[in-house]
Structure 1
Amino acid sequence: MTNQHRHTTHPKLVARLKRAEGHLRSVIGMIEAERPCLDIAQQLQAVESAIRNAKQTLIHDHMDHCLDAEGSEQDRVELKAIARYL
């Protein structure tokens, strides 16, 4: 397992999460503007989906790049620990 925790997908993940952050701010504005609950729920679903996809991408990237193919005991423990977030 490598100690390096920056991967080629990280800049794209940061950009994706910043878009989700902006989208979440928009949802907050919708609530403050007393927009219909159906519209707000729909937009919250989109934010939740964006964050879930970012999380899955991060975990899959970690599994692909950080865990040795040989699979040491530490790697197996870490794989088990991170897989619970999927």
Structure 2
Amino acid sequence: MNHDVTPHGYVNNKDELLKRLRRAEGQVRGIQRMVDEDVYCIDILTQVSAATKALETVALQLLDDHLSHCVAAATREGGDVADAKIKEASAAIARLVRS
């Protein structure tokens, strides 16, 4: 992976992202507890869906930050750097869509 030495696009949203990730972590721990306590399958699936949505929200925020910061900067630079960042972003979008 190519990592810039400049701050990442999410640096301004870092606290919000960490808060969302801690919430998702708590949801996953809750799901583990539900399985351990033999909770009804549909209730567990509902919580899995909520945790998945929470992680998708984080992923979309990171993608938005990446596009508006890293990709935009590379596009201004042009050439191979821009092409590489656009391909990298496109591959990340494809992974999100498939998941």
Is TM (by shorter chain) over 0.5?
Answer: yes
1:65, 1:2 → 2: CA distance? 13
Number of aligned residue pairs: give it: 86
What TM-score, normalized to structure 2? 0.76
What are the within-5 Å matches in structure 2 for residues 17-36 of structure 1? 17-36=21-40
SS of 1:4's equivalent in the other structure is coil
Moved beyond 3 Å, runs of 4+ = none
1:9 counterpart (9, 13, 33):
13
Which structure: greater helix fraction? Answer: 2
What TM-score, normalized to structure 1? 0.86
Percent identical among aligned pairs is 26
Note the aligned Cα RMSD (angstroms).
1.8
Which of the pair has the greater relative contact order for Cα pairs under 8 Å at 6+ separation? 1
What are the within-5 Å matches in structure 2 for residues 1-86 of structure 1? 3-5=6-8, 7-67=11-71, 68=73, 69-72=75-78, 73-86=80-93
Structure 1, residues 26-74: CA drift from partner, whole Å, max 9, x if none? 0100000000000001100110111011011101111101232525231
1:55, 1:71 → 2: CA distance? 25
| Structure 2: unaligned runs, 5 residues or longer | 94-99
| Structure 1: unaligned runs, 5 residues or longer | none
